[in-house]
Amino acid sequence: MRIDKLLANMGYGSRKEVKSLLKKGSVNRDGVVIKDPKTHVDPNKDVISVFGQKLEYREFVYLMMNKPPGVVSATEDQRDDTVVDLLEPEDILFEPFPVGRLDKDTEGLLLLTNDGKLAHQLLSPKKEVGKTYFAVIQGTVTEDDQKMFEKGVRLDDGYVTKPAKLNILSSGNESEIELTITEGKFHQVKRMFEAVGKRVIYLKRLTMGRLELDKELNTGEYRELTEEELQLLRNPQK
């Protein structure tokens, strides 16, 4: 990778600013000053220092966000703010993207990363990674609904959902539930409740695989995953 790209990615300024940094002799590799911005370096092997400080290079970033309502799970949008707009510039440098989508009005656990391989594994239908949602439902959720969800319900487009676990927390004119699904069809939770004649009025994702939303994160806040959480994501079924 070119040294100017590496330094720009690591937050040392624009390519132009990085060029002037190099020109001043502030950067060295293995003790030797590098001045040419086109110099190729291997950030995993070479010891790069800027102003005498060793550069701690890393390729990937893993962020857990408590997504607020009103923003879309995308990196860019013509009309709406996106989850990436909520990130600090030093995190945006890594070019993270949301792993899967939550609807604009849905809150809760959203993972953002630039690790395409992990994202692919988590989203692959074959892996059947479980996702648990908390929801408030208009209408009385019953044991019949529980049985229907366990068997699979037919959505409006004819698709029959895989078995899903419905936990009724409270039941009345409005009911509170937790639902675990292992797939990610468009508006799946809302459409599953529509299939049994009910409406989701509030939806929040609590878990993805073995990763749980940090209760300390307010909506709109995010933080990096810990090493333990990253391991949980890498082994979602265990």
User: Pairing relation of β-strands 62-67 and 222-224?
Assistant: antiparallel
- Comparison of 85 and 183: residue with beta carbon closer to ligand URA: 183
Decide: is 203 part of the binding site for ligand URA (CB under 6 A).
yes
> What is the C-alpha to C-alpha distance for residues 143 and 72, in angstroms, rounded to an integer?
34
Q: Which amino acid is at 232?
A: L
Residue of 61, 65, 102, 111 that binds ligand URA (CB under 6 A): 102
Neighbouring C-beta atoms of residue 29, cutoff 10 Å: 17
Decide: is 137 part of the binding site for ligand URA (CB under 6 A).
no
- Comparison of 102 and 148: residue with beta carbon closer to ligand URA: 102
Point out which residues pair with 53 in neighbouring strands: 50
Neighbouring C-beta atoms of residue 11, cutoff 10 Å: 12
> What is the C-alpha to C-alpha distance for residues 151 and 130, in angstroms, rounded to an integer?
16
- Comparison of 6 and 208: residue with beta carbon closer to ligand URA: 208
Q: Minimum distance between the CB of residue 174 and ligand URA, rounded to whole angstroms?
A: 17
Decide: is 111 part of the binding site for ligand URA (CB under 6 A).
no
Decide: is 187 part of the binding site for ligand URA (CB under 6 A).
yes
Check if 115 is active-site: no
Residue of 190, 195, 211, 222 that binds ligand URA (CB under 6 A): 190
- Residue 218 token pair: 């307010």
Residue holding tokens 């599953």? Answer: 192
Point out which residues pair with 131 in neighbouring strands: 181, 208
Span interacting with ligand URA, options 34-42, 84-92, 160-168, 186-194, rule CB under 6 A? 186-194
Residues that bind ligand URA (CB under 6 A): 102-103, 106, 187-190, 203
Active site residues: 103
